Amino acid sequence: MCRQVARFNPKCTDVFHFCENNLYRRELEMKRRYPHVIRSVQDETRVLQVSVWVRPHLVLHAAARNGYSPAAVNTVPKITEP
Protein backbone atom coordinates (compact mmCIF):
# COMPACT_ATOMS: atom_id res chain seq x y z
CA MET A 1 0.00 0.00 0.00
CA CYS A 2 2.90 2.38 0.73
CA ARG A 3 4.15 2.03 -2.83
CA GLN A 4 0.71 2.60 -4.29
CA VAL A 5 0.12 5.76 -2.25
CA ALA A 6 3.59 7.06 -3.10
CA ARG A 7 2.73 6.97 -6.82
CA PHE A 8 0.46 9.96 -6.22
CA ASN A 9 3.51 11.98 -5.09
CA PRO A 10 2.19 13.11 -1.72
CA LYS A 11 4.02 15.96 -0.01
CA CYS A 12 4.57 13.69 2.98
CA THR A 13 3.65 10.19 4.11
CA ASP A 14 3.37 9.06 7.71
CA VAL A 15 3.52 5.28 7.93
CA PHE A 16 2.53 3.41 11.07
CA HIS A 17 3.24 -0.30 11.35
CA PHE A 18 2.75 -2.96 14.00
CA CYS A 19 5.73 -5.23 13.31
CA GLU A 20 9.19 -3.73 13.85
CA ASN A 21 10.87 -6.00 11.28
CA ASN A 22 8.44 -5.01 8.55
CA LEU A 23 8.64 -1.40 9.70
CA TYR A 24 12.42 -1.43 9.27
CA ARG A 25 12.26 -3.01 5.82
CA ARG A 26 9.61 -0.54 4.69
CA GLU A 27 11.68 2.36 6.01
CA LEU A 28 14.75 1.23 4.05
CA GLU A 29 12.71 1.08 0.87
CA MET A 30 10.71 4.27 1.35
CA LYS A 31 13.45 6.61 2.56
CA ARG A 32 15.33 6.25 -0.70
CA ARG A 33 12.41 7.54 -2.74
CA TYR A 34 9.87 9.50 -0.74
CA PRO A 35 9.72 12.00 2.12
CA HIS A 36 8.15 10.15 4.99
CA VAL A 37 7.88 9.45 8.65
CA ILE A 38 7.57 5.88 9.86
CA ARG A 39 6.41 5.08 13.38
CA SER A 40 5.04 2.22 15.43
CA VAL A 41 1.27 2.02 15.58
CA GLN A 42 1.66 0.76 19.16
CA ASP A 43 2.80 4.23 20.27
CA GLU A 44 -0.68 5.70 20.79
CA THR A 45 0.68 9.08 21.89
CA ARG A 46 2.62 9.54 18.64
CA VAL A 47 -0.35 8.44 16.55
CA LEU A 48 -2.49 11.12 18.21
CA GLN A 49 0.25 13.75 17.88
CA VAL A 50 0.55 13.13 14.16
CA SER A 51 -3.22 13.43 13.81
CA VAL A 52 -3.18 16.80 15.57
CA TRP A 53 0.06 18.25 14.14
CA VAL A 54 -0.13 17.02 10.56
CA ARG A 55 -3.92 17.16 10.16
CA PRO A 56 -3.86 14.68 7.27
CA HIS A 57 -6.24 15.09 4.37
CA LEU A 58 -6.47 11.34 3.97
CA VAL A 59 -5.90 8.38 6.29
CA LEU A 60 -5.65 4.87 4.85
CA HIS A 61 -5.79 1.74 6.97
CA ALA A 62 -4.72 -1.74 5.90
CA ALA A 63 -5.87 -4.37 8.36
CA ALA A 64 -3.92 -7.55 8.95
CA ARG A 65 -5.42 -10.89 8.06
CA ASN A 66 -6.94 -11.96 11.36
CA GLY A 67 -7.36 -15.63 11.89
CA TYR A 68 -4.42 -16.53 9.66
CA SER A 69 -2.21 -19.07 11.36
CA PRO A 70 0.93 -20.21 9.52
CA ALA A 71 0.88 -23.35 11.68
CA ALA A 72 -2.60 -24.19 10.39
CA VAL A 73 -1.48 -24.26 6.76
CA ASN A 74 1.97 -25.71 7.40
CA THR A 75 2.05 -29.44 6.66
CA VAL A 76 5.03 -30.00 8.96
CA PRO A 77 3.91 -30.33 12.59
CA LYS A 78 5.10 -27.48 14.75
CA ILE A 79 7.56 -28.20 17.55
CA THR A 80 6.51 -27.16 21.04
CA GLU A 81 8.48 -27.13 24.24
CA PRO A 82 7.09 -29.14 27.17
**Torsion angle of C-alpha atoms 47, 63, 65, 43, degrees rounded to 10:** 0
State the Rg of the chain over Cα: 17
Query: Tens digit of pLDDT for each residue in 23-71?
Result: 677 777 777 666 556 667 777 888 788 788 878 777 777 666 665 555 5
- Alpha-carbon span 76 to 67, nearest angstrom: 19
pTM for the predicted model, two decimal places: 0.42
* Domain positions in the chain: 2-59
- Alpha-carbon span 39 to 16, nearest angstrom: 5
Residues 3 and 28: beta-carbon distance below 8 Å: no
- Alpha-carbon span 25 to 59, nearest angstrom: 21
